[in-house]
Structure 1
Amino acid sequence: MKKLIASAIIAFVAIAAVQVQAQTTTKEVKKELKSEKKAAHKQLQKLEGNKVSSRSKDQFNSDFDGVSDISWQRGAQFDEATFTKDGAKMTAYYDYDSKLVGTTTNKKFADLPASAQKDIKNRYKGYTTGAVVMYDDNEGNETDMLYYGTQFDDADHFFVTVSKGGKETILMVSMGGEVSIFKEV
């Protein structure tokens, strides 16, 4: 009987150890997948020439139906289409492979999450609030975006310009309302 109880205890401890190891392995796998995804982000490639790619234009027509007032320009890393959709002025950015990276839309301070509005008002008293731009990422494309000459991870964000005494600060606001300094100009 004692051997049976001892065997049961040993089996229980072994099963518990295997479960702990499996949980640790799962966490390690998730962490590794996250780092692989980050490493898979496409590095920004400079576009060659000064003409907008016809492939970018074709892809734009597929991505945005029924838009008006379209104008194109070729930037260093992106073909950029500025257009009007549902009364809002937007810009779409296409990468080296003529795939949509994301869009920007001008917004108002009141469009920010309430917690971000409160945080900005408290931390930047005496500052003038300028442009508010919303970046909407194309989750199907791993290419990172470039804003104010600074590359950032692909995620939806607001960018808010605040200024005081000739000094401008660009704030990055997550969709959840977290505020951080993106760049000082």
Structure 2
Amino acid sequence: MKKMILTLAIAFTALFASANSPFVSRPVENAFNTEFKGATDVAWTIKANYVQVSFLQQNERMVAYYNNDGELIGTSKHISLAKVSNTVKRLLAKKFTNYSVTETILMSARGTDDIYLTIKNEQETLVLKAADNNLSVVEAL
């Protein structure tokens, strides 16, 4: 009996050791390893309907999102405000004069790239979406 329990424990350890988490499915892990070869500092977060994986790729922090079947939903990464179009920066300066940009994120999903900016002043923090050279408030925090 002890041998059987020990054998099962070793089998489960071997089965899940490479996933960094006992809950990451093989399809998700395989898809990630194929899509992001050479990724380091990998951290998995399991949600009800998706899996989030944070990692470094070529010294850049990224986050990838997969459905439970291992299909890539999208990615996100911090970017410099300098990568935002001049039109959007002018709109930002005109419409949100009292605010400073605290975070700029590029989200890529389904073949489109969207830029989200978090801006802040003394009274509030807003999340804006920059699309088609326009700004819209997504959320007030």
* TM-score with structure 2 setting the length: 0.77
Report the CA distance shift for 1:183/1:94 in structure 2 as closer, same or farther (over 3 A).
same
The amino acid across from 1:136 in the alignment is: S
The offset of 1:167, in angstroms, is 1.4
Aligned length: 120
**Bigger strand share:** 2
In the alignment, structure 1 residue 84 sits paired with structure 2 residue 56:
yes
CA RMSD of aligned residues (A): 1.7
In the alignment, structure 1 residue 58 sits paired with structure 2 residue 30:
yes
In the alignment, structure 1 residue 172 sits paired with structure 2 residue 129:
yes
The gaps in structure 1 that reach 5 residues or longer are: 1-49, 140-154
Query: Per the alignment, in what secondary structure is the counterpart of residue 60 of structure 1?
Result: helix
User: Whole-Å Cα distance in 1 between the matches of residues 26 and 123 of structure 2?
Assistant: 41
Flag as ranges the 4+ runs of structure 1 deviating above 6 A.
none
Query: Per the alignment, in what secondary structure is the counterpart of residue 62 of structure 2?
Result: strand
The gaps in structure 2 that reach 5 residues or longer are: 1-21
**Bigger helix share:** 1
* TM-score with structure 1 setting the length: 0.60
The structure having more radius of gyration, on CA atoms, is 1
Report the CA distance shift for 1:68/1:138 in structure 2 as closer, same or farther (over 3 A).
farther
Q: Hey, what does 2:115 align to over in structure 1?
A: 158
Q: Hey, what does 2:65 align to over in structure 1?
A: 93
The offset of 1:109, in angstroms, is 1.4
The offset of 1:164, in angstroms, is 1.8
